[in-house]
Structure 1
Amino acid sequence: MKPIGLRARVSAAFAVGALLLSACVSLVSYELIRSTLFAERERTAVRAAYFDATVVNAGVTGPSPDVSEALRALDTGADRYVLLQMGGQWYSRTAEPAAGSAIPVKLREMLGRGEAGAQRINRDNGPALVVGVPLSGSASFYEIVSLRELDRTLQLLALVLAAVAIMVAAGGAAVGWYVTRYALRPLTVVAGAAREVAAGDLGTRIDPDTEPDLATLSLAFNDMADQLARRLERDRRFAADVSHELRSPLQTLEAAVSVIQRRKGGLDERSAAAVTLIAAEVNRFQDLVDDLLELARSDQPVQREPVEVAELARAVCRSRGLSGDLVVMLPGTPATWRVDRRRVEQTLGNLIDNAIRYGGGPVAIRLGSADGRCFLEVDDEGPGVAEEHRPTIFDRFVRGPAANARGGGDGTGLGLSIVAGHAAAHDGRVTVGDRPGGGARFRVELTC
């Protein structure tokens, strides 16, 4: 399972923190508002109930009280319902027996003791508040006040507060994302510089004054880049010096072997075979020295000039005994590329030699352009390159399984590495993939 990134973790922490904080604030706000609204509603209901109880009490006292008329004299509206218990009977505004079961038992007992009181209940049509006021004699007056509108208001308030909490959480996530992006910007700069160094730009450095908190990291990175550049320069000079020093004795050895080879007709069979083997190894040694010299000067600037690349590719094919018809110019490809002739020529030659040695020979050489870049492709009909070998096949002295399987011992293991260096010098890259129908396809992209 892929681990969650730092930016995602910090953003999630900001979001959770903002959600918890907003939820707590919303909960406290909701409870305060709810308590305040209920308290205000109860005070209003109690005042109204006492006023109505006074009116009813005045109407039911006397020798011949008219209970229905006393109840109808009240202005209760649609949200209040009045009940009167008198002489063991229940009366409502319609003078019909009322459902006395709606009145809580405890509230009845309080009024039986001559005490007024109020209690919240739940009815079929929603929550309500029952206010009880004892009247003269044994009569009790009850007023049921509907709290349905208040309950709807509180529900709406709860939805609003929940929406606010969610928006605050989203805002917290956005802030966390921005903060981490800002905080990680110096690390992004370091990562970009590291990628540039890995791509071959050894002159990349980081300004320590850009982010004082990361000055130590910047200085360490710059020191590492300096040491790497010095190490590579020493290696390059060493390879160049060694290769150069080897050329003189190698040329002498090559000349001596050439003299002996011209006279091997007078030698016995074993001696002649030994001379042939020595000549082949000297030639291979000469190729290795030439490749080492080429790698040593691969960091030199590209000498760009207009090149008729199709004609150059055909010349490279003819120099190796191949038909120039292998070269195909794709539609829309410019005929002239501004590239380093020597590097492109060697790139094509190395790819064709690689196809001849290990891929059964080239079957197509395509030249094209796409996305503002030029490319050349060399297809072969060999076994191809397995996925696990593709990341390392362009390293120095690396030879794929095809070389060992074919017994190809004449390669130096530097040809594809030189191709990669020439591609990088042109601000490009080289890749290998599968050719439709079998075989390998080497693709070199260049800025031309």
Structure 2
Amino acid sequence: MTRLRLGLRTRVVAGFAAGALTLSACMALVSYGLTRNELIGGRERSAVRSATFDARVVAAGLNADKPDIGGMLRTLDTGGNRRVLVFHLGKWYSRHAETASTSAVPQSLQRLVGESGQGIQRARLDGSPVVIVGILLSPATALYEIDSMRELDQNLRTIGWVLALVASAVALAGAGLGWYATRYVLRPLRSVATAAQGISAGDLGARLDPATDPDLEPLSTSFNEMVDQLARRIERDRRFAADVSHELRSPLQTLAASASVLERRRDRLDERTATAAGLVVDEVARFQQLVDDLLELARGDLPAQLEPADVAELARRAAQRRGLDPAIVDAAQPGAGGLRWNVDRRRLEQVLVNLLDNAVTHGGGPVAVRIETDGPDGAIEVDDDGPGVNPADREVIFDRFERGRSAGARGSYTGTGLGLSLVAQHVAAHGGRVLVLDRPGGGARFRIELPGVR
């Protein structure tokens, strides 16, 4: 089972939202509880005062010779929320002529009033909440006043919904605050990521400003020192490769001149000597190519010099340099023939030559070179007729001196091992990438994608 991994921003936003929701929910519950207790307590105290006043009125009326309990109850100002019941000599009386229902007053409250002389109890009557106050007027008489709390209950429900909405709004505000905080906190990290991407793309001038954030000054300083050391290391390597290649050129020229003399006189030598001379000539030529590739790698860190160039013409010229038929270049798509791209002419031609050389050496020969366009982007594909490239080798073959495990199947081991590395370097200098795919029908397809060249 794959475990869901949340990003830092998501976790921080969720934490802020959960914290805000918890705090607001606690405050809402406390506020609701205090408000509810205060309102209900106030209502109960008001009910006790009203019942006490009404009890005095009824008690005074009962002192008459023939008391009219119903008439006395009708004189009471109870409004629309209160009902008054009187239990006198085993009978129930109300404001109306009919006998009051004994089920309105709980038995527990009647016992409490009979024992202590006064009592109060909350109950539900006809589905609505009420508070019932009972007062003992005499051993045989008791008054009960039922005060409806329906309006108060509705108000409490409204308060509860309002507090719930406020808690939700506070949680959303907490999430917004968390998002803003992470955006602010992660801004320096984005600067680091941007600088690192620039460095990986070859821009060794990318640096961080230590004065941006005092808390991140150690990180910025360490990052800049690391980039400085990397730049110095790359410059030393580049200079070393250039110096070595330059120093090797002079003796190589002498060897090449001597090898050319041997090559011209091979027919005068015996078979064994002629074979040895041929090997010397081939290895000197390979050595010269290796030195040229090393010099090209040493210059590869320089920015690309972009200028409009006819890509189809560059491809045909590269094919001619390899002794191939220029007709393998497929530039017949609308807009492809004579198409001019903003590229480094020297680098792109070197890329095409190296891919064609790779196809000749390891891929059974090139089949086609296609030029494609997609809006402002361009792509070039070189197909060969070889056994293809092992999927496990499709990344490593662009490393220096790496031929991959399928090199033996694709041909001999001749070459410098730097051709495809130069291809990747020159394409990266254009901000593009190079891919190895399977060609339909067999073979390999090297695809170069160059963004924004039109």
* TM beyond 0.5: yes
- Tell me how far 1:97 sits from its aligned partner: 4.2
Q: Specify which of 45, 48, 61 is matched with residue 46 of structure 1.
A: 48
Alignment correspondent of 1:300 = 302
Q: Is the 8 A contact 1:426 1:447 kept in 2?
A: no
Q: Does 1:359 align with 2:363?
A: yes
Written as runs of structure 1 = structure 2, the 5 A alignment for 1:26-425 is 26-113=28-115, 115-136=117-138, 138-329=140-331, 330-333=333-336, 335-425=339-429
CA distance in 1: counterparts of 2:440 and 2:166, whole angstroms: 58
CA distance in 1: counterparts of 2:230 and 2:207, whole angstroms: 12
- Tell me how far 1:447 sits from its aligned partner: 4.8
Secondary structure of the residue that 1:69 maps to in structure 2?
A: helix
Gaps of 5+ in 2: none
| Number of residue pairs matched by the alignment | 448
- Tell me how far 1:400 sits from its aligned partner: 2.7
Secondary structure of the residue that 1:144 maps to in structure 2?
A: strand
Secondary structure of the residue that 2:71 maps to in structure 1?
A: helix
CA distance in 2: counterparts of 1:332 and 1:57, whole angstroms: 110
Percent identity of equivalent pairs: 56
Residues 91 and 363 of structure 1: CA distance in aligned 2, closer, same or farther (over 3 Å): farther
CA distance in 2: counterparts of 1:54 and 1:436, whole angstroms: 106
Secondary structure of the residue that 1:443 maps to in structure 2?
A: strand
Amino acid at match of 1:354: N
CA distance in 2: counterparts of 1:380 and 1:446, whole angstroms: 24
Residues 100 and 429 of structure 1: CA distance in aligned 2, closer, same or farther (over 3 Å): same
Amino acid at match of 1:84: V
Output one character per residue of 1:127-148: Cα deviation in whole Å (capped at 9) or x when no partner: 2101112224521111112222
Output one character per residue of 1:50-92: Cα deviation in whole Å (capped at 9) or x when no partner: 3333444444443323333333444544433332211112233
Deviates more, 1:209-218 or 1:398-407: 398-407
Deviates more, 1:353-362 or 1:160-169: 353-362
Q: Specify which of 425, 432, 443 is matched with residue 448 of structure 2.
A: 443
Output one character per residue of 1:95-150: Cα deviation in whole Å (capped at 9) or x when no partner: 44444344234432332246222111233413210111222452111111222221
CA distance in 2: counterparts of 1:322 and 1:372, whole angstroms: 30
Secondary structure of the residue that 1:32 maps to in structure 2?
A: helix
Secondary structure of the residue that 1:348 maps to in structure 2?
A: helix
Residues 332 and 42 of structure 1: CA distance in aligned 2, closer, same or farther (over 3 Å): farther
Q: Is the 8 A contact 2:393 2:406 kept in 1?
A: no
Amino acid at match of 1:109: R
Secondary structure of the residue that 2:382 maps to in structure 1?
A: strand
Gaps of 5+ in 1: none
CA distance in 1: counterparts of 2:83 and 2:389, whole angstroms: 90
Deviates more, 1:370-379 or 1:339-348: 370-379
CA distance in 2: counterparts of 1:294 and 1:117, whole angstroms: 103
CA distance in 2: counterparts of 1:285 and 1:124, whole angstroms: 105
Output one character per residue of 1:319-370: Cα deviation in whole Å (capped at 9) or x when no partner: 3233323223343457223333221111111112222333333333222333
Amino acid at match of 2:377: R
CA distance in 1: counterparts of 2:416 and 2:249, whole angstroms: 16
Residues 245 and 19 of structure 1: CA distance in aligned 2, closer, same or farther (over 3 Å): same
Secondary structure of the residue that 1:322 maps to in structure 2?
A: coil
CA distance in 2: counterparts of 1:2 and 1:114, whole angstroms: 65
Deviates more, 1:127-136 or 1:250-259: 250-259
Residues 381 and 37 of structure 1: CA distance in aligned 2, closer, same or farther (over 3 Å): farther
What RMSD, in angstroms, separates the aligned Cα atoms of the two structures? 2.6
Q: Is the 8 A contact 1:358 1:402 kept in 2?
A: no
Amino acid at match of 1:347: V
Q: Is the 8 A contact 1:258 1:279 kept in 2?
A: yes
CA distance in 2: counterparts of 1:83 and 1:332, whole angstroms: 100
- Tell me how far 1:371 sits from its aligned partner: 4.5
